[in-house]
Structure 1
Amino acid sequence: MKKVGEISDYIAHIRQSDGKIQSVHEHLIGVKGLAARFGSKIEVEHIAGLAGLLHDLGKYSEGFRSYILEAVGNPDHPPKKGSVDHSTAGGKLLYDEFHLNNHSVPERMIAEMVGNVIISHHMGLQDFLTSDMESDYLKRVREKRIEDFLEVKKAFYQTSVSKEDLKDYISKSENEFVAFLKQNITGSRMDKLQLTLMFLTKYIFSCLIDADRTDTRCFEEGTFPCVTTESRKLFEGYYKKLTEYLNKINEDGHSKTAINILREKMSKECDDFAQYPSGIYTLSIPTGGGKTLASLRYALKHAIKHKKDRIIYVVPYTTIIEQNAEDVKRILNDHENIIEHHSNVIEHDDYDNNRYGRDKALKLAKDNWDAPIIFTTMVQFLNTFYSSGTRNVRRLHNLSHAVIVFDEVQSVPIKCISLFNEALNFLKNVCHSSILLCTATQPALDFVEKSIDSIDGEIIQDLDQVVDAFKRVEIIDKTSNHGWNTEDLSRFVFEQVNDLSNVLVILNTKTVVRKLFNQLKENNPDLLIYHLSTSMCAAHRKDILSDVREALDKGERVVCLSTQLIEAGVDVSFNCVVRSLAGLDSIAQAAGRCNRHGEHAIRNVYIINHNEENLDYLKTIKIGAGITHKILLDRKSGHGINDILSPKALELYFQNYYHELKSELDYHVPALKNTLYELLNSNEIYKCGYKHKTGKPFPLLLHTSIKTAAKYFNVIDNNTTSLLVPYKEGADIIAEFNEDLSIQDFSVLLKQSQQYTVNIYERELNELSKNNNIVYLRDGKILVLRENAYDLDFGVNIEGDGKMETHFI
């Protein structure tokens, strides 16, 4: 490589530390190789490699060479970001030479798909057809003028690949594409051609983004792209450790209770089932049945037998990540290869990897799920498929050849059901991944219109008998005509504590939880009262749960108050649970926190209706509560299902729930008068609109509105922003973000900081900003909360008068 001042080649990057140059040719060939390797996992090696080969074609220009030299030579006043367009040229070359002049349908589709990937690799995929009946893609590849385009092509053909070699490469891509269509567009999926090709486009995009950033990061660090840790050997070691751990538990004489014997039987069923081919399976172990370790046993054995690259656990709440990941790390004795991905500390990726300065690390930090075992959230999983920009989609190709375990799968947001099902179909049919849908309350995902193609089996045999054997609670309907207020509930909780020593109360809104907390504190100052909230960072909630468990183990009088975040997967057991009326799945999950290990014969779970809860903005909870109330009334009348926690009752509930919300399953967007599912599939409304507007049929074979769909996609209804909070070690992490960091150190710090982030709504962010309680680091990319706006009882304190017993900054 050359140093600045000895330049005789076109420049892709200039290393910040020593001024060494990476030529465009070196970068294109490097990215091509990595992208092809990622694409080969689903037999599209040449299609992905094509994107890598052409993505920075526009850097073969004098304009870009002048731009990059000026950026390095004048870092205090660099040229305007994006002033030289280097990402359009590759897409334009494909359009001009392989789309026009009656090329074959597969060649034209490849030109459109890969061309969109190339023009979008700094901003996120563009619309083939917009809501204005235009095309972002065509504006770039057909209409945008590139002054030195002929010189760019000439330099490329002379330096990197000849015209004949490119045609040969396209021909190989075409063969791959035809094979892909034959395998994946058949029968019932014929009407989902556009949707399937949208997923393939995103997969190729993922290959390019990860390859581009990996190659650039390795050049910056002076290293070579490392081959992923050999997962098979790790998995074999893990499986041996897990088996030894389980055998030790089962040999313990104290473990031979009826429930533990049943747990052992179900765990063995998971082990035996791992031999079957990859597919979509359900695992309906009752709450408290040892689901985490049983599913891990299946995942490890299946990954070994069927040569999977990684195991990914997807859970609804970060609370479960903290607990489950820690258990798995401890049992497998590995804290290095098992990672947790809670949220993006840096939410936006509108920074460019050609920007020179210390924050280049923001773009290149490794965050691609390239690890043997990953714990992440449903939000992160769905963002990987459907969100805007480039940061999230980078991970998508690493979902292939994986075992993906969805823990508490009933928590998929109602508006995302169809999109979730189609993502699973793609992972199974195209990506060769095996899917495990785990929950005690299976949500009947095959009941909806856009369903999972097929659920290939349930692992647990004799499920009805298993559920009966696991019965540990009685559901007591305490709802009343007038409902309960906070004062009534406070008295009732205190009565239960006096009788039973400990109580868990789960309510639907943070407001009433806080009000009950203050009421109980005021009336019972000596009582141990704990509060859990999504307003707390993961590390904070972990500490509170640890304190709660310790108090329970000591037999102290304890009350724990929480929203629904405690329901799914948190291993804690109370003598009594009080649950505010909600969906039957939530009530079943709440019941799983009562008498969890069968310590007593039967304990009570009380259902109340809190009249101070405002559910007007919580539509799905409100509808779920209404359906549950009807099931409770039917039971009371003697005409309904007596055991409302039975599989039959839950199936009835979900069928009614999905029917009630049928119009929302496809992610309806009122502002567009359309659904995201429609935008990503047939998109007939926009196609007809284009023909009406222009008098001509739409000229492209692909017509999905990927950018528009991403713009409106949010797993959570309200946009949230991640805040780094000064809880304990969070303060040290905040201080480190102020320092100059290498890309590697920055990557490590990003992972550490996930334990100390809180997602807040836009209204809360505005209020905190107005009161000067937000600090902006790294050019505003990282948001930090001031100490006075964090509270040890409640977490983020909007008013800015939080109480911290210990100074953490």
Structure 2
Amino acid sequence: MEPKLISHSLDHSLTLEDHIYQVCRAAKYLVSQKSLNFNGISKEQIVELCTLTALCHDFGKSSLFFQEYIKSKRDGTEYGGSTRDKSHSLISAFFGWHITEKWISRNDELAEHWRLFLPLAVFLAIEGHHGRYKSIEDVLKSIDENYNLLKRQIDRIQPEIYEYESSGFKLSDGKDFNIGTIDSISGKIRRLNRKYGKINLDIQIEHRILALFLYSILLESDKAYLASDNPEQYERDPIDIPDDLVDRYLRTLDTDGDMNEERRRAYRQTISGVSRFPLTERIHSITLPTGLGKTLLSASWALKLRKRIGRGGEGVVPKIIVSLPFLSIIEQTDDVYRKFLDVLYEKYKDRLYMPRYSISDFEYRNGIDEEERSDNSVDFFLNIWNSEIIISTFDQLLYSLFSLKSKHLMRFHNLFNAIIVFDEIQALSSELWKPFEYFFKKLSEVGGTHILLMSATQPGFFPGAIERVPDHENYFKSRRRVNLHIKPENRSLESFIGDLPDLLNEHSDESLMIVLNTRDSSKSIYKKIEGMIDEKTILERPLIYLSSLVAPSQRTNRIIDIKRCIEKELNPIIVTTQCIEAGVDIDVDHIVRDWAPLDSIFQVCGRCNR
């Protein structure tokens, strides 16, 4: 029979059957690229579950209400029904639960806790695929508010939908779906909500990870064909990246001096171990003083680990995801990566390497074509992080775990089998330490993800992290470049302002940086110094202000100005906040820092006498 149900009104109508087939195909393709090791459920079962979710996700589009709406859109006529009547996610979620229960009944070997939870995981994925990921409480509220709507919709389901099938799954298995089924499922959700908190926390975390995996796979699959301007653009096969790119780049740099000898030694010792540790060890750390080249070291370490894992038997080649806390250092790191990727980046563009942060360019190029992409296509490929190496902020990466928004959770499945580098990990807010530890420890177990924690001042909140720099303590013992004077007296800002003339005089032949705790206090100090120095002096000894009050693009320019002034020995005066502390590559002679925790004091020491 010729299909009559429509899914989308595009340049040409896309049938519901074709769309569902496309989503099932994309879902199977995405999961096939993963190595999964959940307890009590096999990868093959997860592939089936993702296919089942894709097959059921638009069941509600077969209602007469939705078909009247989409055909009026296609024909350019006015839709006479209500917005609520044409909604389809909630009824599709109930149908997905119904089909999942039938699938579970055929899989006796599933662990009991999965038998209890998987119908809800499928329900939540389908219910939220056009909005946000909901809690059980939100779902129950939605059911109560929409019960009469569900009764109307279920009576207007068009029978054609039951003819659809994919990979051995048939929607005809759900022909017995009716309002009684919805009542029964609603009761099960309420009972699960009451007793779920008693389940072991470790199991709950594993449930959450698989549930978000299902959701993420569905979100990308649902848009994969619709958002690609041509099928070739949806290329997901890994790119071969030589693992000696950083080695080649380092040979082009000037490497004279004692500091560079230390860098070379740390690099050799750390890189030599990449081929030796068991791949079952997945939580790593690199702890080195500032100025010893951790950015290039970690990039080389990750590329060599990627190559080693790719040579394994599972055919999985990891993405490399680098996450940093501040825009000021992310742009600096972005510049380093572009330099060593060089001609390879020119060939593959964003398909190879993608910086994703608030002021990065809104464009996506993959080296396949140079045609202008639609905004819809660009937005899709940027949101799914379709690249081999991604650099982003802590915020953007953590949104991929803890946000409820679909545009963030769409990329969640890319965290599986990845190598994730957290640079300046000490900057992670302390209230996130426990969720971070629980989540990434479990992700490393079930998703084969390698986590690298990098810092000069490791906060130590992740037990079991294995240090990859042999004898790393010796690099700290040999450093005697900073004299630290701590004066713990309680002083007012006004008192400090009174001492500014003497401070500036005393260090007139040195570069000087004053680091304050708040933007307001830093602004006050800057304005006071500005009022003390005449225009001629400022030309000879520049005064530069830096904080989050400065626009990100201007912040980068000011860091470049600071470096230029230091190189020319102009002895600049820099007034800033803690945004200067972690990872910013500048070298100042003398620093005055507001009272702060010890790790912040150590971090700012890293900007002195490098």
TM-score, structure 1 length as denominator?
Answer: 0.62
Q: Give the aligned residue type for 2:19.
A: H
Task: Report the Cα distance in structure 2 between the residues aligned to 1:87 and 1:199, rounded to whole angstroms.
Answer: 22
| Partner residue of 2:287 out of 278, 284, 287 | 284
Task: Report the Cα distance in structure 2 between the residues aligned to 1:75 and 1:167, rounded to whole angstroms.
Answer: 33
Per-residue deviation, 1:136: 4.4
Per-residue deviation, 1:118: 0.2
What is the aligned partner in structure 1 of residue 179 from structure 2?
Answer: none
Task: Report the Cα distance in structure 1 between the residues aligned to 2:143 and 2:158, rounded to whole angstroms.
Answer: 19
The count of residues paired between Structure 1 and Structure 2 equals 536
Describe the shift of the 1:125–1:102 C-alpha distance in structure 2 as closer, same or farther (beyond 3 A). same
Task: Report the Cα distance in structure 2 between the residues aligned to 1:548 and 1:76, rounded to whole angstroms.
Answer: 61
What is the aligned partner in structure 2 of residue 208 from structure 1?
Answer: 218
Percentage identity across aligned positions? 23
Task: Report the Cα distance in structure 1 between the residues aligned to 2:509 and 2:137, rounded to whole angstroms.
Answer: 65
| Partner residue of 2:126 out of 118, 126, 133 | 118
| Partner residue of 2:203 out of 187, 193, 203 | 193
Describe the shift of the 1:152–1:215 C-alpha distance in structure 2 as closer, same or farther (beyond 3 A). farther
Where does 1:621-770 land on structure 2 (aligned, <5 Å)? none
Query: Is 1:580 aligned to residue 594 of structure 2?
Result: yes
Task: Report the Cα distance in structure 2 between the residues aligned to 1:9 and 1:575, rounded to whole angstroms.
Answer: 75
Per-residue deviation, 1:595: 0.6
Superimposed CA distance per residue, residues 180-206 of structure 1 (whole angstroms, 9 cap, x where no aligned partner): xxxxxxxxx954212220121112111
What is the aligned partner in structure 2 of residue 458 from structure 1?
Answer: 467
Q: Give the aligned residue type for 2:4.
A: D
What is the aligned partner in structure 2 of residue 174 from structure 1?
Answer: none
Task: Report the Cα distance in structure 2 between the residues aligned to 1:25 and 1:329, rounded to whole angstroms.
Answer: 44
Query: Is 1:547 aligned to residue 561 of structure 2?
Result: yes
Task: Report the Cα distance in structure 1 between the residues aligned to 2:415 and 2:487, rounded to whole angstroms.
Answer: 45
Describe the shift of the 1:482–1:539 C-alpha distance in structure 2 as closer, same or farther (beyond 3 A). closer
Describe the shift of the 1:510–1:60 C-alpha distance in structure 2 as closer, same or farther (beyond 3 A). same
Q: Give the aligned residue type for 1:45.
A: V
Query: Is 1:244 aligned to residue 248 of structure 2?
Result: yes
Per-residue deviation, 1:366: 3.8
Query: Is 1:53 aligned to residue 55 of structure 2?
Result: yes
The SS at the match of 2:117 is helix
Query: Is 1:514 aligned to residue 523 of structure 2?
Result: yes
The SS at the match of 1:392 is helix
- Counterpart contact for 1:245–1:331, Cα < 8 Å: yes
What is the aligned partner in structure 1 of residue 551 from structure 2?
Answer: 537
Task: Report the Cα distance in structure 2 between the residues aligned to 1:107 and 1:257, rounded to whole angstroms.
Answer: 63
- Counterpart contact for 2:24–2:166, Cα < 8 Å: no
The SS at the match of 2:251 is helix
Describe the shift of the 1:264–1:69 C-alpha distance in structure 2 as closer, same or farther (beyond 3 A). same
What is the aligned partner in structure 2 of residue 490 from structure 1?
Answer: 500
Where does 1:414-425 land on structure 2 (aligned, <5 Å)? 414-425=430-441
Task: Report the Cα distance in structure 2 between the residues aligned to 1:302 and 1:167, rounded to whole angstroms.
Answer: 47
- Counterpart contact for 1:39–1:47, Cα < 8 Å: no
Q: Give the aligned residue type for 1:385.
A: L
Describe the shift of the 1:315–1:168 C-alpha distance in structure 2 as closer, same or farther (beyond 3 A). farther
Instruction: Judge which range, 586-595 or 462-471, deviates more.
Output: 462-471
Describe the shift of the 1:80–1:63 C-alpha distance in structure 2 as closer, same or farther (beyond 3 A). closer
Describe the shift of the 1:157–1:396 C-alpha distance in structure 2 as closer, same or farther (beyond 3 A). same
Superimposed CA distance per residue, residues 53-100 of structure 1 (whole angstroms, 9 cap, x where no aligned partner): 211111123321221232344499997655511112322123345549
Task: Report the Cα distance in structure 2 between the residues aligned to 1:319 and 1:533, rounded to whole angstroms.
Answer: 10
| Partner residue of 1:67 out of 69, 87, 101 | 69
Q: Give the aligned residue type for 1:241.
A: L
Task: Report the Cα distance in structure 1 between the residues aligned to 2:144 and 2:207, rounded to whole angstroms.
Answer: 21
Per-residue deviation, 1:263: 0.9
| Partner residue of 1:22 out of 14, 28, 43 | 14
Give the CA RMSD over aligned residues: 3.1
- Counterpart contact for 2:224–2:234, Cα < 8 Å: no
The SS at the match of 1:286 is coil
- Counterpart contact for 1:314–1:376, Cα < 8 Å: yes
What is the aligned partner in structure 2 of residue 226 from structure 1?
Answer: 234
Superimposed CA distance per residue, residues 763-806 of structure 1 (whole angstroms, 9 cap, x where no aligned partner): xxxxxxxxxxxxxxxxxxxxxxxxxxxxxxxxxxxxxxxxxxxx
- Counterpart contact for 2:9–2:73, Cα < 8 Å: no
Query: Is 1:387 aligned to residue 397 of structure 2?
Result: no
The SS at the match of 1:117 is helix
What is the aligned partner in structure 2 of residue 88 from structure 1?
Answer: 90
Instruction: Judge which range, 554-563 or 189-198, deviates more.
Output: 189-198
Superimposed CA distance per residue, residues 612-637 of structure 1 (whole angstroms, 9 cap, x where no aligned partner): xxxxxxxxxxxxxxxxxxxxxxxxxx
Describe the shift of the 1:8–1:94 C-alpha distance in structure 2 as closer, same or farther (beyond 3 A). closer
- Counterpart contact for 1:270–1:295, Cα < 8 Å: no
| Runs (4+) off by over 6 Å | 75-80, 140-143, 358-363
Q: Give the aligned residue type for 2:219.
A: I
Task: Report the Cα distance in structure 2 between the residues aligned to 1:403 and 1:101, rounded to whole angstroms.
Answer: 34
Where does 1:288-299 land on structure 2 (aligned, <5 Å)? 288-299=291-302
Runs (5+) with no aligned partner, structure 2: 37-42, 175-198, 311-316, 362-373
What is the aligned partner in structure 1 of residue 178 from structure 2?
Answer: none
TM-score, structure 2 length as denominator?
Answer: 0.81
| Partner residue of 1:12 out of 7, 11, 18 | 7
Describe the shift of the 1:198–1:228 C-alpha distance in structure 2 as closer, same or farther (beyond 3 A). same
- Counterpart contact for 1:496–1:503, Cα < 8 Å: no
Q: Give the aligned residue type for 2:29.
A: R
Task: Report the Cα distance in structure 1 between the residues aligned to 2:79 and 2:549, rounded to whole angstroms.
Answer: 40
Per-residue deviation, 1:270: 2.5
Per-residue deviation, 1:108: 4.4
Task: Report the Cα distance in structure 2 between the residues aligned to 1:393 and 1:24, rounded to whole angstroms.
Answer: 25
Task: Report the Cα distance in structure 2 between the residues aligned to 1:145 and 1:77, rounded to whole angstroms.
Answer: 20
Per-residue deviation, 1:144: 5.8
What is the aligned partner in structure 2 of residue 781 from structure 1?
Answer: none
Task: Report the Cα distance in structure 2 between the residues aligned to 1:383 and 1:224, rounded to whole angstroms.
Answer: 29
Runs (5+) with no aligned partner, structure 1: 1-6, 170-188, 347-357, 447-451, 597-809
Describe the shift of the 1:259–1:561 C-alpha distance in structure 2 as closer, same or farther (beyond 3 A). same
Task: Report the Cα distance in structure 1 between the residues aligned to 2:459 and 2:556, rounded to whole angstroms.
Answer: 28
Where does 1:12-411 land on structure 2 (aligned, <5 Å)? 12-15=7-10, 19-40=11-32, 41=34, 42=36, 43=43, 44-74=46-76, 83-99=85-101, 105=112, 106-129=114-137, 135-136=140-141, 139=144, 145-149=150-154, 152=157, 154-160=159-165, 165=170, 190-218=200-228, 221-223=229-231, 226-228=234-236, 230-231=238-239, 233=240, 235-236=241-242, 239-249=243-253, 255-275=255-275, 276=277, 277=279, 278-307=281-310, 308-333=317-342, 334=345, 336=349, 337-343=352-358, 364=380, 366-411=382-427
Task: Report the Cα distance in structure 1 between the residues aligned to 2:119 and 2:376, rounded to whole angstroms.
Answer: 31
Task: Report the Cα distance in structure 2 between the residues aligned to 1:343 and 1:564, rounded to whole angstroms.
Answer: 20
The SS at the match of 2:272 is helix
Superimposed CA distance per residue, residues 700-730 of structure 1 (whole angstroms, 9 cap, x where no aligned partner): xxxxxxxxxxxxxxxxxxxxxxxxxxxxxxx
